Amino acid sequence: MKTKTEGIVLSVSDYKENSEKISVLTKDKAYLSFIIRGSAKMTARNKIFPLTVYEFIYDEKDGRDMYAMQGRNVVRSYLSHDLKKDAFTDVLIEAVRRITCEETNELYEDLLFVLDNLEKAPYLYGSYLLARLLYYSGFRPYIDGCVVCDSKLIAGLSIERGGLVCAQHKKATDIDDLDLVRHFRHLQLLTKENLPLYKEEITLEDFKLLIDFIERHLDLRMRSFSFFLVL
């Protein structure tokens, strides 16, 4: 039986005999992979592009998560053809691809909301998405008090220990710029509804702290972020 599902392309890779394999985060069927026959040929007319949302048509059979794609329609593309902007979107997509979470319907909604608004304030919306990923994957930083003693008198942020720290437990290597500490805390608390009202300026430095947190606690190297930084 033919099934249709909407999803965003997370990666495109070569597969056997001129085919390609794509991994997709779907609106309501979690993560799926599709094989696209012949799409690796130079002349292929069924090319699939990254940073793009499609409606995928395939034959659904129970208990599988990889399908032969039978057709697709473009829903919308987030490719800007501006190298720096696309490299930043790639960082978000790499995070979504590599941080597995259960709440994929919510994540899909968050991701499209962020991509729709990214132009307005890239680091604010990008940081919001990373914070949501940490929340969904169970790696949310501790922001209700000092991560060691729960004191509410906060003096810094320890990426290493996973949350805020008081003066007594702050180490020399911890972050003590209180603007950065406050932003880090706010970013974990923002919701889709109040995010557009958030007025503080979120910069690359704030975004980088979330990347540092992800790299340390989820043991990942975000290659797309290193690439973004050298552009």
The interface region with Zn ion, picked from 4-12, 35-43, 69-77, 166-174 by CB under 5 A, is: 166-174
Q: Which helix (H) or strand (E) holds 180?
A: helix 178-189
- Least distance from Zn ion to the Cβ atom of residue 179, Å: 21
Q: Are 170 and 158 in contact (CB under 8 A)?
A: yes
Binders of Zn ion: how many residues, by CB under 5 A? 6
149 in contact with Zn ion (CB under 5 A): yes
Residue numbers 91-130 binding Zn ion by CB under 5 A: none
Nearer to Zn ion, 50 or 162 (CB): 162
146 in contact with Zn ion (CB under 5 A): yes
User: Torsions phi, psi of 179, nearest 5?
Assistant: -65, -45
Nearer to Zn ion, 149 or 229 (CB): 149
203 in contact with Zn ion (CB under 5 A): no
State which of residues 124, 166, 190, 210 lies at the interface with Zn ion (CB under 5 A): 166
Helix (H, G, I), strand (E, B) or coil at 70: strand
Distance CA 171, CA 46 (A): 55
Q: Are 54 and 72 in contact (CB under 8 A)?
A: yes
181 in contact with Zn ion (CB under 5 A): no
Q: Alpha-carbon torsion 88, 90, 95, 101, what sign?
A: positive
Binding site for Zn ion (CB under 5 A): 146, 148-149, 151, 166, 169
